[in-house]
A and B are shown apart, each in its own frame.
Chain A
């Protein structure tokens, strides 16, 4: 298990603007959040609903959740998101967390939410960085499209069709929580909620999939990146790629949103039959 902390985090920074991996350039483009914790109009503060789980319980809970396959990571049936040459990490992390929630709810379909279907309309189809909370707000208000209808890195208005608009209501968020600090992040993960986490030191946003014990009394967060399935390490239980571990210091998010619940939809039929419109 590779752990990133103060000793090696610069390995993740590339030239400070982009990281080249597998011959492809991935842009660092999460912007610092513009609103203080607790002030988001569309996401309640995490602390209002959930008391912190004491650190003394973390190690035992981590072990138990791994045994019952009960962490958000255990529901990552899908390949890691690939933001490709877009600056849309801030939407990819949110969509990865939301797709994880759908799996945990038992969604009858295998749809992946397209980050470009959210970031494109927000940015007026410009390839620019952003912060994750507007992506989450858009997911709540309008929903996203599946990658079947809108490829994940396709920054083009041409995908905004009658069919893709009809699909949005089926891939919509219900509620999430504004999440602050490592203890709230750890509590969310131990309760079974994935969290979109932004790191100003990295200029990047990913999603947190589980809390990990690195060594006695030292914890980290296993994040899943959006730099292709082959980046990072494979998950020790689900065998999927795109993961790494950030020790608490570097793993403490600059801002974070816990995705709590999604609309559950029976969109497992052909698009035309389901929506009643043609592509």
Chain B
């Protein structure tokens, strides 16, 4: 059998693996080990007046279609916490774990569905945040 003949078989094998593993072959692994749909935003509340409107909207907005409403409707955990170390010390393990991840700026968002997720600066608009979260919340 020539190498070229193996190519379709390899593709099929990859496809089977993809089906078995869900999104994890292509998606980045979850930044935290705890299970469940978890979203944490860490902000310096003393700097809230410096935030662009989109970030401020993500932090305070609760209307239908806002990231907070999407996550809670999906049964996920949503937190917006001040960067003070006191903020999360009595929290559930998933939030403590997310809070402990390294951050290079504020506000920062950590999100996980237990299999995949991200830890990065909070995107500038609610639409971007929502699109990111739907990648996690809408996956089977």
Please, how many angstroms separate the alpha-carbon atoms of A175 and B86 in the complex?
A: 10
Check B82 against A69 for contact (C-beta < 8 Å).
Answer: no
**Residue B49 is within 8 A (CB to CB) of chain A in the complex:** yes
B88 interface contact, C-beta 8 A? yes
Give the contacting residue for B91; candidates A65, A71, A260, A266; CB below 8 A: A266
Q: Is A133 an interface residue (CB 8 A)?
A: no
Contact residues of B: prevailing secondary structure: mixed
User: Which listed residue (A74, A169, A264) contacts B95, Cβ 8 A?
Assistant: A264
Beta-carbon contact of B63 and A105 below 8 Å: no
- Bound-state CA distance A5–B63 (Å) is 31
Pick the contact of B87 from A50, A75, A261 — CB < 8 Å? A261
B77 beta carbon closer than 8 Å to chain A: yes
Q: How far is the CB of A101 from chain B (nearest CB, A)?
A: 10
Tell me the minimal C-beta distance from A70 to chain B in angstroms.
Answer: 4
Task: Kindly state whether residue B24 has any CB partner on chain A within 8 Å.
Answer: no
Residues 95-138 of B, flagged 1 when their CB comes within 8 A of A and 0 if not, give 10000000000000000000000000000000000000000000
Report if B70 contacts A (CB, 8 A).
no
How many residues from A make CB contacts under 8 Å with B? 32
CB–CB B88/A264 < 8 A: yes
Q: For residue B41, which residue of chain A has the nearest CB? A: A106
* Contact between chains at A68 and B62 (CB < 8 Å): yes
In A232-279, the 8 Å CB interface with B consists of: 260-261, 263-267
Q: Judge whether A149 is part of the interface by a CB distance below 8 angstroms.
A: no
A12, CB-defined interface residue at 8 Å: no
Complex: A166 Cα to B59 Cα, angstroms: 30
B62 closest partner in A (C-beta): A69
Give the CA-CA distance A101 to B59 in the complex, in Å: 12
Q: Are B61 and A68 closer than 8 Å at their CB atoms?
A: yes
Tell whether, in the assembled complex, residue A65 and residue B60 are in contact, meaning their CB atoms are under 8 Å apart. yes
Q: With the chains together, A172 CA to B79 CA distance in Å?
A: 17
Is A264 within 8 A of B87, CB to CB?
Answer: yes
Interface residues of B in 8-57 (CB under 8 A from A): 45-49, 56-57
A187 to B86, CA, bound (A): 26
**Smallest Cβ distance from A172 to chain B, in angstroms?**
8
Please tell me if the beta carbons of A175 and B84 are within 8 angstroms of each other in the complex: yes
Complex Cα gap A169–B91 (Å): 12
Q: Give the complex CA separation of A264 and B86 in angstroms.
A: 8
CA distance A267 to B90 in the complex (A): 8
Q: Closest B residue to A71 by CB, please name it.
A: B60
Interface residues of B (CB under 8 A from A): 45-49, 56-57, 59-63, 66, 68, 77-82, 84, 86-92, 95
